[in-house]
Chain A
Amino acid sequence: MKMLETRWGKFIIEVVALAVIFTLVQYFITAGIFNQYHQITLTSMCINIILAVSLNLINGFTGQLSLGHAGFMAVGAYVSVVLTKFMGMPFIVGIIAGCLGAALAGFVIGVPTLRLKGDYLAIATLGFGEIIRVILQNIDYVGGPAGVVGIPKLTSWGWLFAGVVVTIFVIQNLINSSYGRAIISVREDEIASEVMGVNTTNYKVLAFVVGAFFAGFAGVLYAHYFYIIKPETFNFLKSFDVLVMVVLGGLGSTTGAVIAAVFVTLLTAVLQAFPAVRMIIYALILILIMIYRPQGLMGNKELSVKILGRIWSGKDGSFEDK
């Protein structure tokens, strides 16, 4: 057992675990154990995870309240669709361009607006998100309000899995790097970190651009699964949905964001069968969770094997502080 506790041992375990999960789900899909409905739910889940984890970088770790995430998602979706559908480029080109396009939009929006604070930033980002949507609505090349129909279905389980793993891996490593410390210091106390020589604007923009990049990724995956995209899909209510996931999970907790994304996706799917009370239940759950757990499900802690182990052995139920 000793070998397993070394770095390499852990790394190997993790790679194996990822491979097992991937193969298992792939098997479920090919063998038809997951029907189409499960696959669609799975897809929404992965896309929501990517959105929530990336918004969490901006809202949770950097502490900048952004309400424009749907806008970046839209940029990613539309850029990639133009390339894959209209120009016949391969999917990978679409993905790269979509992500870069969204990141560029993040940069253009982030540089001027990140000087704003709190609610002023929130409304400015919301405004930009809506501007993106209105512009798309008026571009006839991409169908205006009707959007683009007949997008090739290129998003496979493999891409979704890769998307989730890469998003979490990159953002988690960014947070644990020296950049990450700087980013978190901006959240904790902007003035103090500035005094310490941290160029807060640069780090805010960095977090914003990375967050937008992955939102674009989510947009690409979304567009190439759901056959149709239209500007209306990416309105400010969509940004709210993602924000809800982030806050439910706990601002500044990647595992929290993932859990909340999974939870919200499943909740949405289950509630489809109760049209009359669906949104009332959703609203009540939202209010109740916030009242009883205002810091979100995970607070700013991460769920890890160690904690699970502790809870399992009954020694200590408390979460590990990062």
Chain B
Amino acid sequence: MRISRKVVLVVLMLFMFGIVAGCGGKAGGGEEILVGINAELSGAVASYGTNARDGAMLAIEQINAEGGVLGKKINAIERDNKSQADEAMSVSADLVGKGIVAQIGPLTSGNVQGCTLVMMDNKIPLIAPAATAVNVTVNEKGETLDYIFRVCFIDPFQGTLMAQFAYENLGAKTAVILKDASSDYGKGLAEYFKKTFTEKGGKILAEEGFVKGDRDFRATLTKIRGLNPDFIYVPGYYEEVAPLIKQARELGITAPMGGGDGWDSPDMIEVAGKANLNNTYFTNHYSVQDQNPKVQKFVKAYKEKYNKEPDAFAALAYDAVQLLAQAIKDANSTNPEDIKNALENIKDFEGVTGRMSIDEQHNPVKAGVIIEFKDGKQVMNTRIEPK
């Protein structure tokens, strides 16, 4: 008993010491606009997070080169959240303490949700580049979370769109879902695809999954081959989807396949192969091969700076920063509250990923496109204007 109490005591003293040591100083603002970049730079989705960071940094660089916003330069503070929601929360609290006017990121829905409380408590707007889950910007009562915005589609939009396309345009009556079961993104898209597809009268033959990091999908694909579906829906990210499509074609599956914006990467064609990608479709915001000068300027600048082609994450993060700059201009103020109000009133903002307006749930209203791979080229198949 004696040691135990002593231990408790000492432990707690050390503990105090640790806390005090953990206190750091604050950095001041001045003639700059402080913007926080809360990104997944290490951990499971580091490869996507760094692309998003690169996109955001490119936008900031371009804005500063053109004289900044309201005559002030944007100063970005970059922090790594290790692809974890708790770290994302801690990072956002750190950034808020440093006096940021807004935060860009994190990337995944779960990590954005980790930041939600901090942003709401401190009344600092957050723009999520790629968090697609419905409940990112609304709470469970359906009330909009005042300070959370996004520039990407929500899950129902993409899932529904692809279901309609598969049923109506491709004439698919049966489908198999093969989703990324380790991500909320895969789950969300699959859920809405299933809903719409069955409502229309189609039949889901099976719902299968894979997890992030998998490279061998042949067991599941062999099973799917036996089911002989008219369409295969593969909501996931390109690192898994590209080898998946390749293996599917190698196994002789010829059915059309579809997915969401997670497919958007130059790696798709290189990994899966041109011929294998024929007869595959995905929902997206824009096409890198779009001749729109805004898109081409972005793609060119990105290539020049980073020596690679942008994926969807880079483009969305780029737009998130541009949207923020627009809001600061509209508000004519760098006060977070004013920025938030301006964000709510964004109309017809011309982004790389399309022209968008922010609706009352803080989601962008923008056109969606269905892109088809044809002999290694992204071809716009259908364009769906916002209602």
Contact = CB atoms under 8 A, between A and B. Distances in A.
Q: Do chains A and B touch in the complex (CB under 8 A)?
A: yes
Interface residues of B, number: 61
A145 B90 CA distance: 22
A181 B33 CA distance: 61
A24 B20 CA distance: 12
Contacts of A44: 86, 90
Contacts of B13: 17, 21
**Chain A interface main SS type:** helix
Given A145-B183, A305-B6, A21 B16 contact: yes
Interface string B226-250: 0000000000000000000000000
A146 B188 contact: yes
Interface string A146-161: 1101100100000000
Contacts, number: 191
Given A42-B19, A45-B18, A145 B113 contact: no
A227 B114 contact: yes
Contact of A176 (B1, B15, B18, B80): B1
Interface in B1-59: 1-16, 18-19, 21-23, 39, 41-42, 44
A268 interface: yes
> Max chain A CB contacts within 10 Å: which of B13, B14, B110?
B110
Interface string B320-347: 0000000000000000000000000000
Contacts of B117: 153, 227
A202 interface: no
A28 B174 CA distance: 61
Contact of A11 (B5, B22, B80, B87): B5
A228 B113 contact: yes
A173 B94 contact: no
B84 interface: yes
A304 B3 contact: yes
A306 B6 contact: yes
A262 B2 contact: no
A25 B16 contact: yes
A38 interface: yes
Given A41-B90, A266-B18, A269-B90, A176 B85 contact: no
Interface of A: 7, 10-11, 13-14, 17-18, 21, 24-25, 34-42, 44-45, 49, 137-138, 143-147, 149-150, 153, 164-165, 168-169, 172-173, 176, 222, 226-228, 230, 232-233, 254-255, 258-259, 262-263, 265-266, 268-269, 271-276, 278-279, 302-306, 308, 322
Interface of B: 1-16, 18-19, 21-23, 39, 41-42, 44, 78-82, 84-87, 89-91, 93-94, 96-97, 109-110, 113-114, 116-118, 121-122, 133, 135, 139-140, 181-184, 186-188
